[in-house]
Amino acid sequence: MTFTHEPLAQIVPAVRAALQRGEVALDVPDPDLGLGLYAGEAGPAGVHRPWAVWTDLADLLGAHLLTPERLAGGRVRLRLRPRQSGPDPDAAGYGAGGAWSRVDKLEDPVFLYTFVEALRRVDPPPGGRVLALGVNAGRELDALALALPGRVLEVVGVDLDLSALAAASARFPQGTFLQLDVNALPRPELGRFDLVLALSLLQSPGVRQDVLLAALRRHHLTPGGGLILGYPNARYRAGELSYGARMRNFARPDLSLLAADVSAARRGLHGRGFKVFVTGKYEVLVTAIPAGASTPTGLEAVWDVHAQPAASEPVTPQP
């Protein structure tokens, strides 16, 4: 298929139909030649479209975008290969031997960047305590050292799955990992924490976000403590992240539940004395820090070659 001046509205149905029969090759204007143009503007070899248009189209139509080849005349050949359908990686649960253990969120650049930013925003003090709910194999804990280099923190992780907890213990031997249903919180013996993490947990079956957040606020946060809540906005498919939260039994994305849960968490925390930030892409992060705390600056400094610790003003304890 060759496209030069056709609008995207004509390309989408043609590619969609061709993908039903298998792999598709598209010859299109080289996106590199139109840098600075928006999609649909005239470029030197036809209608310009940035690479993101083609990656989005591939995802939308359930295909892998293969490495393109450059053609003569300012054009490139793209290939889209239909993704194999298969079960979600968590279809068989969250055990250490299951498909979920293949997922490493820190390999998603937007998650990595925004999660590190969120951790620096909360900025638990040296020697501070971190509670990771639904911690699974503890992969998210690797981000603590990235975000807060050299900072010693006491980590407690909880999950329902014993094999995942064993994997977490192995990867993070200095942590304490407990089999615990988060619906059993508060548990006073756990004490209070400077940072509470709940990534891709709050929409799990049986978890009541409002009840859990109230228990955490009242019983498990220090006065200067903060929370980072993660809500999936993607589905894992054939080795790739496909954009958009799915409601149960819906094939197409529908962000209603995500939007409702994120805004309920944001509103609830804001109304109870927190400053709340909503960031992320494939995982939406709600970060809450006490309203009286100064927003730390230099959140991105950790990515500088000569990384500096985040500069932050003293945190004002909440009454």
Smallest distance from ligand SAM to CB 105, Å = 5
**Residues in contact with ligand SAM, total (CB under 6 A)?**
22
Among 55, 101, 169, 204, binds ligand SAM (CB under 6 A): 204
Of 159, 233, 245, 276, the residue at the interface with ligand SAM (CB under 6 A) is: 159
Is 226 within 8 Å of 288 (Cβ atoms)? yes
Part of the chain binding ligand SAM (CB under 6 A), chosen from 153-161, 237-245, 296-304, 310-318: 153-161
- Residues whose CB falls within 8 Å of the CB of residue 107, separated by 6 or more in sequence, listed in order: none
Nearest-approach distance from CB 142 to ligand SAM, in angstroms: 11
Q: How far is CA 157 from CA 50, 148, 174, 176, 196, in A?
A: 42, 18, 11, 6, 10
Cα–Cα distances (Å) from 91 to 5, 98, 242, in that order, read: 43, 9, 16
Using CA atoms, how far apart are residues 230 and 228, in angstroms rounded to an integer? Answer: 7
Q: Is 108 in the site for ligand SAM (CB under 6 A)?
A: no
Nearest Cα residue to 53 out of 42, 65, 43 = 65
Nearest CA among 62, 64, 102, 97 for reference residue 80: 64
- If one asks whether residue 287 binds ligand SAM (CB under 6 A), the answer comes out as no
Other Cβ atoms closer than 10 A to 103? 16
Return the amino acid letter for 230: G
> Of residues 124-143, which lie at the interface with ligand SAM (CB under 6 A)?
134-136, 140
CB of 233 to ligand SAM, least distance (A): 12
Q: Which residues pair with 80 in a beta bridge?
A: 24, 65
| 159 membership: H or E segment, kind and range | strand 154-159
Q: Which residues are 195's β-sheet partners?
A: 130, 226
The answer to the question of residue 10 lying near ligand SAM (CB under 6 A) is: no
> Counting contacts by CB under 6 A, is residue 161 touching ligand SAM?
yes
Write each residue from 55 to 94 as x if it is in contact with ligand SAM (CB under 6 A), else as -, in one continuous string. Answer: -----------------------------------x---x
User: Toward ligand SAM, which CB reaches closer, 54 or 193?
Assistant: 193
The distance of closest approach from Cβ of residue 205 to ligand SAM in the complex, given in angstroms and rounded to an integer, is: 7
Q: Which of 47, 182, 234, 315 binds ligand SAM (CB under 6 A)?
A: 182
Chain contacts with ligand SAM (rule: CB under 6 A) = 90, 94, 105, 134-136, 140, 158-161, 164, 181-183, 199-201, 204, 206-207, 230
